[in-house]
Amino acid sequence: MAMATTLAVHGCRRSNLLKFMPISATAMSRQLKRLRLRGLIKKVTRTYRYYLTRLGRAAIAAACSITRFQIVPAMAATR
């Protein structure tokens, strides 16, 4: 959790995110561009850092909530 808090406060770079995701650097750049165009992240001018926007934080909170209260119980019920 400390890493997520650090990324939220200080922003993150593509190189930081590549440590957690098994995709190429070019694929990561395309994903970041998609998120930026949808308004979920914001690039800091003249840097390589990205920050979550309010909409991005709300989207992550909604996805976590759906996962926790809908998907996980549904998967547990099928076993």
Amino acid 35: pLDDT: 96
φ, ψ (nearest 5 deg) of residue 35:
-65, -40
Which burial class, exposed, middle or buried, applies to 71 when counting CB atoms under 10 A from its CB (0-12, 13-18, 19+)?
exposed
Amino acid 31: pLDDT: 96
Long-range contacts of 40-43 (CB under 8 A, 24+ apart): none
Fold of the domain spanning 2-77 = Arc Repressor Mutant, subunit A (1.10.10)
For residue 6, pLDDT beyond 70: no
In whole angstroms, what is the distance from residue 74 CA to residue 79 CA?
A: 9
pLDDT tens for each residue of 10-55 = 789 999 899 989 999 999 999 999 999 999 999 999 999 999 999 9
Amino acid 4: pLDDT: 64
Amino acid 79: pLDDT: 77
In whole angstroms, what is the distance from residue 69 CA to residue 21 CA?
A: 25
For residue 3, pLDDT beyond 90: no
Both tokens of residue 23?
């995709």
Q: Where are the domains of the chain?
A: 2-77
Amino acid 49: pLDDT: 94
